[in-house]
Amino acid sequence: MVWLFHMSRRKRSRNSQHTVALWVHLNMLCSLLNEATMRQKKQSAILSSPPSFRGDHWRIIMDKYQQQHFDFLYHQHLTNLTLQGKRPSTIDVYSRAVRRITTYFDRCPDTLTTQDLKQYFHALIQTYSWSTVKLDWNRLQFFYRYTLNKKWQWHDIIKPPQVKRLLALN
């Protein structure tokens, strides 16, 4: 950039149109470098931050093989939901739960251990209400049961609090 600055000062005396063009190119170059730097800072902040449920970083970053395996399981999950007669809105929310846990751990859900699921639900409880946690619990249970053909001991992973209701007096 220093070279462009000196060159533009030299050309200023010869031709003012060339000087203006060089300054425009210099400004464009500086703005592109600033944008690239900001993008890089934002990306490094996203990757260095702990997993979260809210925010701009809902991208899954896996290697090519893991991504292909996840895509296969995801499409199989969508097929299973359709075969079970679920409505499009139900398919959307069930698939969102699978995408959420995949994004949280940045790996395919079939590789998760019981300890991983405990960590996930602990973080989910901190961010969402119990009703949302229970819904995700059921959605992931469907994924494990019908797509992965696995049985999990869900009561060992998470147990919603018991709500004591008052009896209505007539």
What does the DSSP assignment read for 66-123? Answer: HHHHHHHHHHHHHHHHHHTT--HHHHHHHHHHHHHHHHHHTS-GGG--HHHHHHHHHH
- Per DSSP, the three-state class of 43 is helix
pTM of the complete model: 0.59
Residue 98 lies in a domain: yes
Q: Are residues 129 and 75 in the same domain?
A: yes
Residues 132, 72, single domain; the answer is yes
Residues 15 and 81 in one domain: no
pLDDT tens digits in sequence order for the chain, 170 residues long: 444 445 445 544 555 666 666 666 666 666 666 666 665 555 444 434 444 444 444 445 678 888 899 999 999 999 999 999 999 999 999 999 999 999 899 889 999 888 888 899 999 989 888 888 889 988 999 999 999 998 876 666 777 777 777 777 76
AA letter at 3: W
Domain co-membership, 88 together with 141: yes
Domain coverage including residue 81: 64-157
Stated as kind and residue range, the H or E segment containing 162 is none
